[in-house]
Chain A
Amino acid sequence: MEILVSMLSQVDFVFVLLVFAGAFAGLFVGAIPGLSVTMATALLVSITFTWSVKNALAVILGVFVSGVYAGAVSAILINIPGAPSSVVTTLDGYPMARKGEAALALWAATFHSFVGSVFGFLVLMFVARPVTDFALSFSAMDYFLLALFGLTTIGTLTAKNYLKGGICAVLGLLLSMVGIDPFSGTARYSFGLTDLQGGIPLIAALIGLFGFAEVLDQVARGTMSAIAEKAGRMRYSFREMIRYLPLSLRSSVIGTFIGALPGAGGPVASIIAYDQARKSVKNPTRPFGEGAVEGVIASEAANNACIGGALIPMLTLAVPGDAVTAVMLAAFYVHGLQPGPLLFVRTPELFSVVLAAGFLACFAMLVLGMTVVPRLSGIVLVPKRILMPLVTVLCVVGTYAVNSSMFDVGFMFCFGLAGFLMRSRGYPAAPLVLGLVLGGMMDSNLRRAVNMALAGDSVFLELFGRPTTLVLSFLVAFSVLAAVPAVKERIGAAVSRMLSVFGSGR
């Protein structure tokens, strides 16, 4: 109750206005590939450093919440994820748009992103400390296994032939090794090119593999009518909201927890939530991957719930959960504040400001998502002979905007061609992109884990002896084995045998 009163005492007209302005800007920043929420937040830190902390946080959180959600808009409408955490949304969101349900997909993304965001902030409000303690008990090996679990899952989920999904995930990881190794300073796989020493440009890969590959695919097929004949109904019934709420909440729990793990973030959360949705939803509207609204809901609820999760270790321990919270941490220091355990003691009102801005930003996102975003679904009605040339120019502009580099644009075209060839041969792009995103984290955590294990008595026990590590190792092994058809059949037979034994005993 005390915290509610404290939150309400922070809210005034200017505060609300700034949150809405931030959310409006975030909507565009998130939806345009190449403009990231991290970039926008960093810009805002420099713009707002003379403002009061309260007003600065209002606009930053508005951009943050709305920007993460808006990544789904381009993912659904034109198959270009606005950010890596929206990659999984393309799996069902774009097929929905092609089947004439773009507006429904956007509504579902809006409402369940709202549920996810609110859930994340509620967890931040009530159980920040225990979540932080559990998240910090994760070892380097646990982080490695968590990312590996995400990759094995997405690899087997997105390809008809699990070997092809696995190959794409490993290729993504290998490509993420390109550039200067942060541990030793050695250049890896840069082939003497200085432009490659900074690594493979992620946004170029993302835009190329999803956006430009789609352009080439459509041009090659010569299907130049609109993406869909209709944008679909412009409302999302109350019954549907309630029906999908349990799935949305389950995904939000996953998203909040993974968000609280420093470095894991939205991409991992959305994959794992998508996987649990696929396993737990018995009768999806359509098979997953072919336009199931449940896939969009799981992915979007999880990646938005990450926001509250990522703020937990940032506020309680000054450990940022993701790139945006790292920039926010910098904003705190710029304003002369010291995040961490003493933040609540020295400036307790700041916690209320963050919560008030967060909840208001969720509300702003919902309002804008319901009023502005469905109007954008008309994009799917534009004939492709008009849309595809425009998308190509936007792909170029979005890629160039990140580093002002034509080298990145060249990369984007190469990734686009690779994506087109992969697609026509049954190789999914999503595992490759997620391998690129997670590779650096896996590399550093594996080496850290091996080094720490070598310093102990038993390497094996040091690596796998902890309960969390054992659970994660089991999950990885199960995920890999369950993808092999023969093993899958045997597991299914064993489960039915067990069930029949229990049945006969009754």
Chain B
Amino acid sequence: MTNARSPWAGNLRHGVFFLAVAALFGRQGFAVHDGGQWSLSPALFPLILSGGLALLSFALIGQALLRIRAGDEGPSRKDGAPISPMRASLAFLLCVLYALALPRTGFLPSSAFFLALFCLLVGERRAARIAALSLVSPAVIYLLFRHGLNVLLP
């Protein structure tokens, strides 16, 4: 048997997840069928796709089970530095807060504050560089987009 962290065990979980997604889309697809001719129905293609996704999910589960039974440990992961879920979560949370602040405080102040915090999060410690980046770049972006390209900003 293989351990729960092997790539194949992961694929098994993914297969089950995608099967659930296929079921959700399939159920919703049936819900939009208007009862008329199937060839004209808005549900036709979504249902074919849901079936296709279910088929591929079963294949992924089957592939994982066969490899686990064969005692295959799976390909080794050599994708560079290890991933820290904590750092990614903090960055994502900061971005969500930025998105929430944008319509309330406006582009310039929220972007300046966000850039400064993001720089600190990713390890930039030089105050002069942080100040320059967080004050100058939002102003440049604002001038370029709002006045140069006539694009609305939050």
Contact = CB atoms under 8 A, between A and B. Distances in A.
Q: Pick from B82, B114, B124 the residue with the most CB of A within 10 Å.
A: B124
Contacts of A212: 95
A67 B124 CA distance: 35
A94 to B, nearest CB: 14
B4 to A, nearest CB: 15
Interface string B101-135: 01100010001001100110111100001000100
Contact of B28 (A160, A189, A420): A189
Contacts of B63: 161, 163
A164 B14 CA distance: 10
Interface class of chain B by DSSP: helix
Contact of A451 (B39, B95, B99, B121): B39
A323 interface: no
Contact of A389 (B14, B46, B118, B145): B118
Nearest to A449: B39
A260 B21 CA distance: 37
* Nearest 8 A/B pairs, CB to CB: A220-B88, A389-B118, A181-B42, A221-B81, A443-B45, A450-B39, A219-B91, A385-B124
Contacts of A259: none
Given A167-B18, A167-B57, A397 B88 contact: no
Interface string B40-80: 11111110111011001101100100000000000100011
Nearest to A440: B45
Contact of B14 (A390, A425, A454): A425
A450 B44 contact: yes
A392 B39 contact: no
A432 to B, nearest CB: 12
A406 interface: yes
B46 A447 contact: no
Contacts of B115: 389-390, 393
Contacts of A217: 83, 88
A400 B18 contact: no
Contact of A220 (B39, B84, B145): B84
A179 to B, nearest CB: 11
B58 to A, nearest CB: 10
B81 A223 contact: yes
B82 to A, nearest CB: 7
Contacts of B153: 397, 400-401
Contacts of B80: 221, 223
A261 interface: no
B151 interface: yes
Given A221-B80, A393-B115, A447-B39, A385 B60 contact: no
Contact of A388 (B39, B122, B129, B149): B122
A399 B84 CA distance: 27
B84 A163 contact: no
Given A35-B149, A188-B32, A174 B53 contact: yes
A118 interface: no
Interface string A430-445: 0000000000001100
B18 A222 contact: no
A188 B81 contact: no
Contacts of A200: none
Interface of B: 7, 10-11, 14, 18, 21, 25, 28-29, 32, 34, 39-46, 48-50, 52-53, 56-57, 59-60, 63, 75, 79-85, 87-88, 91-92, 95-96, 98-99, 102-103, 107, 111, 114-115, 118-119, 121-124, 129, 133, 137-138, 141, 145, 149, 151-154
Interface stretch (A78-86, A245-253, A409-417, A487-495): A409-417
Contact of B45 (A35, A167, A386, A446): A446
Nearest to B107: A397
A454 to B, nearest CB: 6
Contact of B119 (A173, A385, A413): A385
Nearest to A187: B32
A177 B102 CA distance: 30
Contacts of A447: 39-40, 44-45
Contact of B137 (A216, A219, A385, A390): A390
A112 interface: no
Given A384-B122, A389-B119, A406-B154, A170 B39 contact: no
A137 interface: no
A166 B56 contact: yes
Contacts of A13: none
Q: Pick from B39, B81, B111, B153 the residue with the most CB of A within 10 Å.
A: B39
Contacts of A401: 145, 149, 151-153
A425 B10 contact: yes
B146 to A, nearest CB: 10
B117 to A, nearest CB: 9
B20 to A, nearest CB: 13
B59 A163 contact: yes
A397 B115 CA distance: 14
B97 to A, nearest CB: 11
9 contacts: A160-B75, A161-B11, A222-B87, A389-B122, A390-B133, A396-B98, A404-B152, A409-B154, A447-B45
B53 A446 contact: no
Contacts of B154: 400, 406, 409
A412 B57 CA distance: 26
Contacts of B44: 446-447, 450
A222 B75 CA distance: 24
A188 B39 contact: no
Given A222-B81, A222-B87, 6 more contacts: A174-B50, A181-B42, A216-B88, A393-B138, A406-B99, A446-B45
Given A173-B49, A223-B81, A450-B44, A167 B60 contact: yes
A410 B46 CA distance: 25
